[in-house]
């Protein structure tokens, strides 16, 4: 806090000299509300601020009092004045919610010790630490090709392709992909072979597909990577919208604040417009009901939770049929490839990946 005061004084007195550093300084300030990693950009400026403040106080006191203790006392007086303001300046928020933390710890109990978790990379390290389970990728390995293939398992609509992808990456890994690239296979050719199951083999370790609540907000970018077009060199950015404070008004209507969803007449009404619903998925009491109209319109999930709470998600067609929406939000999966073993939606939903595809009786 003393450093920030000193930095503010330095800015006032030397603004023109400081302008060249402003972009880095603003990135550093993001550590207060954004990712804490941005603090590395702020640290040099805090050192500058503290040094500048100390220098000012020394110059003010050195002529009158030749005593370092009084200089230190002056700095401490400023710090003690600012400390009561600290709660209003910095509000530390947990990066992992208590509920998700508990579910990661619970992974240790509901999965075998030799298990490996298939999920997006952001919480890979947290799972490795809290659950003591291996993951396919984490913050240290998201730059490798397997990140793309994990994204495809979220964005694709075909459970067989999702399974083939998991099986291939489990068996050949990055090493196998690098070998295929050296053999002059193009990335698209490698992808097609993986999707077709060319590298499938029985899984050697228990493998689990985990979905977590944070991925709803991240889905737009996960989907962008997972739908990558190698010719156009871009993917489809389609985020999933969520309406808050949703409550059931009647058998046919759900209100989310000022927004009304009419289940019978298939429309979403906002304060300013009325939109048709093409497909409405209702998940209630572990049962899924789908209503569809042969017309243009929105794709909406209505998910009933505990304590009469309701979550409503608004999607476009492609994300609606993605494995992420089908398996995570709607709990609709193909038992030939996956088996639901833990359902704590929306915090975490966990599937066991079958060692090899099961032959299901008709």
Give pLDDT tens digits for 218-236: 999 999 999 999 999 999 9
For the residues 64-85, what does the mean pLDDT come to?
Answer: 61
Distances (CA, A) of 258 to 27, 90, 250, 267, 269: 36, 33, 16, 14, 9
At 205, the pLDDT band (50, 70, 90 cuts) reads very high
- The string of pLDDT tens digits covering residues 123-137 is 999 999 999 999 999
For the residues 168-190, what does the mean pLDDT come to?
Answer: 94
Task: Report d(CA 276, CA 291) in Å as an integer.
Answer: 13
For the residues 314-341, what does the mean pLDDT come to?
Answer: 97
For the residues 172-177, what does the mean pLDDT come to?
Answer: 93
H-only helix segments in 1-67: 2-13, 15-18, 22-29, 39-62
Helix (H, G, I), strand (E, B) or coil at 244: strand
H-only helix segments in the chain: 2-13, 15-18, 22-29, 39-62, 68-82, 86-89, 98-110, 124-130, 146-155, 159-182, 187-195, 214-226, 317-320, 323
- What are the two backbone dihedrals, phi and then psi, of residue 324, each rounded to the nearest 5 degrees? -60, -50
How is residue 87 written in tokens?
């709660």
For the residues 340-354, what does the mean pLDDT come to?
Answer: 97
What does DSSP say about strands 287-292 and 134-135: parallel, antiparallel, or unpaired? unpaired
Max mean pLDDT range (47-51, 60-64, 84-88, 176-180): 176-180
Q: By percentage, how much of the chain surpasses pLDDT 90? A: 67
- Indicate if the pLDDT at residue 197 is higher than 90: yes
Determine the pLDDT at residue 361: 62
Q: Which of 6-10, 92-96, 260-264, 343-347 has the lowest mean pLDDT?
A: 92-96
Residue 190: count other Cβ atoms within 10 Å of its Cβ. 21
At 332, the pLDDT band (50, 70, 90 cuts) reads very high
Q: Which of 13-27, 108-122, 126-140 has the lowest mean pLDDT?
A: 13-27
In whole numbers, what is the pLDDT of the chain averaged over residues?
Answer: 89
Determine the pLDDT at residue 134: 97
Determine the pLDDT at residue 78: 62
Determine the pLDDT at residue 355: 96
Max mean pLDDT range (5-9, 276-280, 308-312): 276-280
Query: Would you tell me the crossing angle of helices 68-82 and 39-62 to the nearest 10 degrees?
Result: 130
Distances (CA, A) of 140 to 134, 199, 218, 306: 13, 26, 18, 37
pTM greater than the 0.85 cutoff? no
Residue 137: count other Cβ atoms within 10 Å of its Cβ. 20
Determine the pLDDT at residue 2: 81
Helix (H, G, I), strand (E, B) or coil at 11: helix
Nearest Cα neighbor of 295 from 326, 260, 266 is: 266
How is residue 338 written in tokens?
């996956």
Q: By percentage, how much of the chain surpasses pLDDT 70? A: 90
Strand partners, 290: 281
At 82, the pLDDT band (50, 70, 90 cuts) reads low
CB 216 within 8 A of CB 226: no
- The string of pLDDT tens digits covering residues 18-72 is 888 888 888 888 887 777 778 888 888 888 888 888 888 777 765 555 555 666 6
Determine the pLDDT at residue 27: 86
């Amino acid at each position: 806090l003393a450093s920030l005061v000193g930095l503010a004084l330095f800015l006032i007195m030397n603004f023109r000299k400081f302008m060249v550093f402003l972009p880095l300084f603003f990135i550093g300030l993001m550590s207060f509300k954004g990712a804490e990693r941005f603090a590395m950009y702020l640290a040099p400026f805090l050192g500058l601020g503290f040094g500048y403040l100390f220098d000012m106080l020394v110059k003010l006191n050195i002529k009158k009092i030749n005593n370092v203790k009084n200089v230190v006392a002056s700095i401490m007086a400023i710090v003690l004045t600012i400390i009561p303001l600290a709660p209003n300046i910095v509000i530390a928020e947990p990066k992992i919610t208590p509920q998700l933390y508990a579910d990661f710890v619970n992974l240790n109990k509901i999965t075998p010790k030799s298990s490996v978790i298939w999920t997006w990379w952001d919480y890979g390290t947290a799972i490795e630490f809290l659950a003591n389970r291996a993951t396919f990728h984490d913050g240290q390995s998201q730059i490798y090709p397997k990140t793309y293939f994990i994204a495809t398992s979220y964005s694709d609509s075909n459970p067989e392709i999702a399974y083939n992808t998991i099986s291939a990456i489990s068996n050949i890994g990055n090493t196998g992909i690098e070998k295929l690239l050296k053999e002059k296979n193009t990335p698209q050719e490698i992808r097609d072979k993986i999707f077709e199951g060319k590298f499938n083999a029985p899984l050697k370790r228990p493998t689990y597909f985990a979905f977590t609540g944070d991925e709803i907000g991240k889905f737009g970018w996960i989907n962008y990577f997972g739908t990558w077009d190698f010719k156009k060199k871009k993917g489809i950015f389609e985020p999933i919208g969520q309406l808050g404070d949703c409550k059931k008004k009647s058998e046919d209507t759900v209100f989310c604040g000022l927004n009304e969803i009419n289940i019978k007449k298939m429309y979403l009404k906002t304060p300013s417009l009325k939109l048709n619903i093409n497909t409405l998925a209702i998940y209630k009491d572990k049962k899924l009901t789908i209503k569809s109209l042969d017309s243009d319109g929105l794709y909406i999930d209505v998910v009933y939770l505990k304590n009469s709470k309701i979550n409503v998600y608004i999607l476009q067609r492609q994300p609606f049929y993605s494995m992420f929406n089908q398996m995570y939000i709607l709990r609709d999966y193909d038992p030939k490839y996956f088996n639901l073993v833990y359902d704590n939606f929306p915090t975490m939903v966990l599937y066991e990946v079958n060692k090899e595809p099961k032959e299901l009786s008709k």
